[in-house]
Chain A
């Protein structure tokens, strides 16, 4: 089954404790992105990647890091989480051309930073 998976789905942590949210896709997509979703603000792009070892900042990259060492994986790293990073996070992947760049989203990771 074609899918994007994220882990963990739920996470409660404390300020300053480094964490990683994993994202993996099995569709051989070139493009991957991370978003955060907050009430009233909609989804905002954090980082995106055009291919292996090619990443770029989205609209809200501060406090986040990403890496793209393999095509299928695109982990999101919070080196020193803060309470304002409490949010719902989505990973997405897409391939050039298909349905005008349709993005396939993972199920989301709900993060709470205390």
Chain B
């Protein structure tokens, strides 16, 4: 079983739609959690950290459920510029980061 799993997609949604991505992790000792965004052939960039209480940044909301070892990302009012691959990332300690395979999103006009 992979340490971090994501639905690979692709998710094809119309502009303005709400879309949710899920991620599960297997290491119960995982310490911190992130969502990164990666555009085609480019480097990943941090979208947001994920906190136990849940957190929101504009149209983006992240949730963490430690008991179920589950992380989610919700994007509201999708824009064309949101088209990218979204990577779920888990820090299992001492700068040892595990990336999920990513979920590809295409927002269509």
Contacts and interface: CB of A to CB of B under 8 A. Distances in A.
B72 interface: no
Contacts of B43: 90, 105-108
B42 interface: yes
B96 interface: yes
Interface in B15-51: 32, 34, 41-46, 49
A59 interface: yes
Interface in A70-110: 90, 94, 99-103, 105-108
Interface residues of A, number: 25
A68 to B, nearest CB: 12
Contacts of B100: 42
B91 to A, nearest CB: 6
Interface in B54-75: none
Contacts of B96: 45, 48, 56, 58
A101 B8 CA distance: 25
Given A90-B44, A106-B43, A107-B42, A56 B94 contact: yes
Interface string B87-109: 10001001111111110000000
A25 interface: no
Contacts of A43: 44, 87, 99
Interface of A: 31, 33, 35, 40-45, 48, 50, 56, 58-59, 90, 94, 99-103, 105-108
12 contacts: A31-B95, A40-B101, A42-B99, A43-B87, A50-B95, A56-B96, A58-B96, A99-B46, A100-B34, A101-B32, A101-B91, A108-B43
